[in-house]
Chain A
């Protein structure tokens, strides 16, 4: 199956700083990418959807100025958590969809963010 990578896998940052998470589709062109947030023992919560070259569509309740998403190419999307606070600590998962692949959706391994 197709591979989606995320970097970094773990990051610790201080409150007030910004952190960037990268999501790459390694062997296919991702026309659409998704960013999820997952709290311990809970399901995945969709934060935003982005199509290559377009602005991201954010889900209700997700602050677009805090969670900046850039889908600059067909293989790369980035999520930047700006002015991070301890409550932003969570597990962030990206996912990518390939139009040619019958809209199959592939998931990255996730990034654990800890804000101290």
Chain B
């Protein structure tokens, strides 16, 4: 079974600085997707960034970028120029790309990292 591990329960960053959130996963599959979701105090889950395992190039979305190391099964999220609005819980998630009777696998979430941004 696949697992996702986020080893940092809490992180803190100064506004305008850069922070990296760690995520490792375990799978025997070669084709899958990895995601970072943000859950602010409103509890609404927001997709931050997505990475296809077959792509070597690291995904980037504005101030958010990932460091995807497939061999090491590592998928860290870097937030540059941190803003107060970045304060939230961040969840790393894995999803198999296998086709299960017409639909792909379920999301498997890590336990989350609570990010605080200091003004």
Are A110 and B43 CB-contacts (below 8 A) given A31-B103, A97-B103? yes
Query: Interface SS of chain A: helix, strand, loop or mixed?
Result: strand
Q: How many residues of B contact A (CB 8 A)?
A: 19
Which of A19-27, A67-75, A76-84, A101-109 contacts its partner? Answer: A101-109
Which residues of chain B are near A31, meaning CB under 8 Å? 103
The smallest C-beta distance from A7 to any residue of chain B, in angstroms, reads: 14
User: Once the chains are docked, how many angstroms separate the CA of A109 from the CA of B44?
Assistant: 5
Interface: B25 (CB within 8 A): no
Instruction: Give the complex CA separation of A51 and B100 in angstroms.
Output: 12
* Minimum distance in angstroms from A52 CB to a CB of chain B: 11
> Chain B, 89-113, contact with A by CB distance < 8 Å: what is the 0/1 string?
0010001000000111011011110
**Pairwise interchain contact A43-B107, C-beta atoms closer than 8 A:** no
Please, could you name 16 A-B residue pairs with CB atoms under 8 Å apart, sorted by A?
A31-B103, A43-B110, A44-B45, A46-B106, A46-B107, A91-B43, A93-B43, A93-B45, A95-B107, A97-B103, A105-B107, A107-B45, A107-B46, A109-B43, A109-B44, A110-B44
Closest Cβ of chain A: how far from B67's Cβ, in Å?
Answer: 22
A82-95 interface code vs B (CB 8 A; 1 in, 0 out): 00000000010101
Please give the residue numbers on chain A whose beta carbons come within 8 Å of chain B beta carbons, in ascending order: 1, 31-32, 34, 38, 41-44, 46, 49, 51, 91, 93, 95, 97, 99, 103-105, 107, 109-110
Report whether B103 and A43 are in contact in the complex, using a CB–CB cutoff of 8 Å. Answer: no
Among A41, A46, A107, A110, find the residue whose CB has the most chain B CB atoms closer than 10 A: A107
Residues of B within 8 A of A51 (CB): 103
**A38 CB to nearest B CB, Å:** 8
Residues on the A chain within 8 Å of B109, using CB? 43-44
B62 within 8 A of partner (CB): no
Residues of B23-56 at the interface with A, using a CB-CB cut-off of 8 Å, are 37, 42-47
Question: How far, in whole Å, are A41 and B33 apart by their CA atoms in the complex?
Answer: 25
Q: How far is the CB of B86 from chain A (nearest CB, A)?
A: 18
